[in-house]
């Protein structure tokens, strides 16, 4: 699974998750840090990324537009980068099952 991290997540997560999700990126790296959600959505769709975010707007887009792209919605408060990396790493089996399930377009992790 290739992740694209939304602006509300630190780009430093990329290096912490590279062993689990090696082809992942951040909107800032892709020059999309000032883009609206729909532009990021379309970029993810065209390039095979799953969006990972703390933003509920992608849930709304998933309902309106369907998927792909798939969305991982982190419903957690503010925390440090290493805590976020741990949360994502601890859920890697769940996330891989989500990625392989063609009937689910969004998953929430809290």
Residues 6 or more apart whose Cβ sits within 8 Å of residue 28: 7, 11
Per-residue pLDDT of the chain (110 residues; tens, 9 = 90+): 999 999 999 999 999 999 999 999 999 999 999 999 999 999 999 999 999 999 899 999 999 999 999 999 999 988 999 999 999 999 999 999 999 999 999 999 98
Tell me what pLDDT residue 84 has. Answer: 95
Tell me what pLDDT residue 90 has. Answer: 97
User: Which ranges of 2-80 would DSSP assign to H, the alpha helix?
Assistant: 13-17, 37-47, 57-65
Read off the pTM: 0.95
């Amino acid at each position: 699974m290739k992740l694209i991290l939304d602006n509300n997540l630190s780009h430093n997560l990329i290096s912490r998750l590279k062993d689990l999700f090696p082809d992942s990126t951040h909107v800032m790296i892709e020059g999309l840090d000032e883009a609206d959600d729909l532009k990021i959505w379309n970029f993810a769709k065209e390039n095979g990324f799953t969006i990972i975010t703390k933003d509920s707007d992608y849930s709304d887009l998933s309902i309106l537009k369907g998927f792909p792209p798939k969305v991982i919605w982190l419903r957690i408060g503010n925390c440090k980068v290493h805590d976020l990396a741990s949360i994502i790493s601890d859920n890697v089996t769940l996330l891989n099952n989500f990625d392989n399930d063609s009937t689910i377009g969004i998953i929430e992790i809290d």
